[in-house]
Structure 1
Amino acid sequence: MGITTFPKCILRLNDVDELDLSRNLIRKIPDAISKFQNLRWLDLHSNYIDRLPESIGQMTTLLYLNVSNNRLTTNGLPVELNQLKNIRTVNLGLNHLDSVPTTLGALKELHEVGLNDNLLNTIPNSISKLPKLKKLNVKRNPFPKEEESTEFLDSIKRLENLYLVEEKDLCGPCLRKCQQSRDRLNKIKSIVTATPRKAIFSNLTSPNSMAKESQEDWR
């Protein structure tokens, strides 16, 4: 609708449980958004937001948060996100994140995480160890070059199709295979973390130019 500022009038609608302000021109989310104490679904994708308010941590009923295709940086994500203990889906794709906030690792109910089209070169263990994680999208990030670390990239791809089972449901050979794969993955991650590399976009004029060029299509 071409909305440029968060409409204060809707803050009076205290019983709203779904709010969609996507595909607008909004730059700032007010602290007063925490008044939506019954909100379960918040969609703000395709705006110009560069920071989320600390008060978002008070929206403990939130199950779904989509802030993809904005201008968020890692510093623009408040630590108060770790208070969203019931949240199931978080989409942070198509932003300017150069690292994954460790606060996401505290959200034990997360089923889906979107981190695609950012500036990431590694994924912290706390994300891959989320107990209920079913889908992790990390496509089109500047991870290490394939010729330098093929196994690392393969491990990231496997995370995108992650299915969880309990140890008691696995036979002996399968359990050993999973344990060996986990050990290899941890070894690779420790090597990559110890030797950080500069993000490389060989075919792009600027790190997030692909996202910028497609922004209007997203709207």
Structure 2
Amino acid sequence: MPKGKGPKGTKVTLKIAKKAIRTTPDGRRRLTLSNMGITIFPKCLLKLTSVDELDLSRNQIQKLPDNIGNFSSLRWLDLHSNKLESVPESIGNLVGLTHLNLSNNRLVSAGLPSTLGFLTSLKSLNLGMNQLDTLPPAMAALNSLQELGLFDNLFINLPEFVKVLRSLTKLNMKRNPLSYAQGDGERTQKVKSEPEEDVYLVHESSLCRTCLKRCKEQGERLTGGGGGGGDMFEDKKIRTFPGLMVPNSVATVNQDVWRLRKAEQKPIK
């Protein structure tokens, strides 16, 4: 191998990419290039302006192109289990994006641009399994965000703006070195890990009267409320949902081991 050059990895051409496009049951055009040993983001993909969903998960991509924001048709972007350390500012141009998965990378807080706050259509954001300890305050503008994954990071404190995200229904902060102020604020104490549980969200209309009453009583005990509804951030008590997952985000082992698990699918010709 010539000096100064790393492995090239799998090269994806425009022809290969076009053949890999499939139409989802709801009519969206989805391009799946997962687990193909790709090391460099295929810039030819930016020419596929009709693609709605892009899956480049479980590859070895270290950097996204600065003009990733030109992929304006995207509604769903999955980049989990790569080697990304930062995200370009132009990602803020993907204003139609509803789902973004950046879990299981090497992201640091300095690598997250404030332009993430422009993604106001975002409903699901997964930043788990990275090296983050803070988030851009501009993300307070993500009023449509319903699911936020921050598990397996370096957070000592919950980002303040999370408390004002009124659409947020699922928050996963598991396995962070969280601490909280106690008493006069001079002492901090590690948050005790809670037993794991599976949480399923259903509408009240789907429950019988007995089950509805039982769920409300249990919810009051978990949130420390004595009565009344309240919201999930009342009195600064945050309920976390350990089962939070977004499409293709099931990496539960370290990145190198995960990448070795080859998908059982025929190679694209």
Q: Same fold (TM over 0.5)?
A: yes
Given that 1:11 and 1:36 are in contact with CA atoms closer than 8 Å, whether structure 2 keeps it comes out as yes
1:214 aligns with 2:249: no
1:12-161 residue pairs with structure 2 within 5 A? 12-144=47-179, 149=189
| Greater strand share, structure number | 2
Computing the radius of gyration over CA atoms, which structure comes out larger, 1 or 2? 2
CA distance in 1, matches of 2:236, 2:69: 43
Given that 1:3 and 1:24 are in contact with CA atoms closer than 8 Å, whether structure 2 keeps it comes out as yes
Given that 2:158 and 2:178 are in contact with CA atoms closer than 8 Å, whether structure 1 keeps it comes out as no
Secondary structure in 2 aligned to 1:10? helix
TM-score normalised to structure 2 length: 0.59
1:140-187, CA deviations, whole angstroms, 9 ceiling, x for partnerless residues? 001139xx647x6589x9xx999999xxxx9xx723x849x833649x
C-alpha change, 1:93 and 1:164, in structure 2 (3 Å) is farther
1:174 aligns with one of 205, 227, 231: 227
TM-score normalised to structure 1 length: 0.72
CA distance in 2, matches of 1:55, 1:214: 29
Aligned residue identity for 2:127: L
- Percent identical: 46
Secondary structure in 1 aligned to 2:256? helix
1:5 aligns with 2:40: yes
Aligned residue identity for 1:143: L
Unaligned runs of 5+ in 1: 187-210
Given that 2:112 and 2:135 are in contact with CA atoms closer than 8 Å, whether structure 1 keeps it comes out as no
Aligned to 1:183: 235
Secondary structure in 1 aligned to 2:100? strand
CA distance in 2, matches of 1:141, 1:22: 24
Aligned residue identity for 1:65: L
Secondary structure in 1 aligned to 2:83? coil
Unaligned runs of 5+ in 2: 1-35, 181-187, 205-215, 217-225, 239-250, 260-269
Aligned residue identity for 1:30: P
C-alpha change, 1:93 and 1:122, in structure 2 (3 Å) is same
C-alpha change, 1:87 and 1:16, in structure 2 (3 Å) is same
Aligned-pair RMSD on alpha carbons? 3.4
CA distance in 2, matches of 1:43, 1:183: 35
